[in-house]
Amino acid sequence: MPFVTSYHNKEKVLFWPDLASSHYGNNVLQYLDQNDVQFVDKKFNPQNCPQARPIETLWSILKNMVYDEGWEAKTINQLRRRIAKKLKEIDIKVVQQMFSGIRRQLRKNA
pLDDT in tens, 59-95: 999 999 999 999 999 999 999 999 999 999 999 998 8
Same domain? For 101 and 71 the reply is: yes
Per residue in 38-53, is it b (16+ CB within 10 Å) or e — as a string?
ebeeeeebeeeeeebb
> Which residue intervals of 1-110 are DSSP H helices?
2-7, 26-34, 54-66, 76-89, 92-100, 102-109
Same domain? For 54 and 106 the reply is: yes
Structural domain containing residue 26: 1-45
What confidence category does residue 1 fall into, taking pLDDT thresholds of 50, 70 and 90?
A: confident
Same domain? For 30 and 56 the reply is: no
Same domain? For 34 and 73 the reply is: no
- Picking from 45, 6, 49, 54, the residue whose alpha carbon sits closest to that of residue 24 is 45
Same domain? For 110 and 61 the reply is: yes
Same domain? For 20 and 56 the reply is: no
Number of domains in the chain: 2
Same domain? For 21 and 50 the reply is: no
What pLDDT score does 78 carry?
98
Q: What is the pTM of this model?
A: 0.64
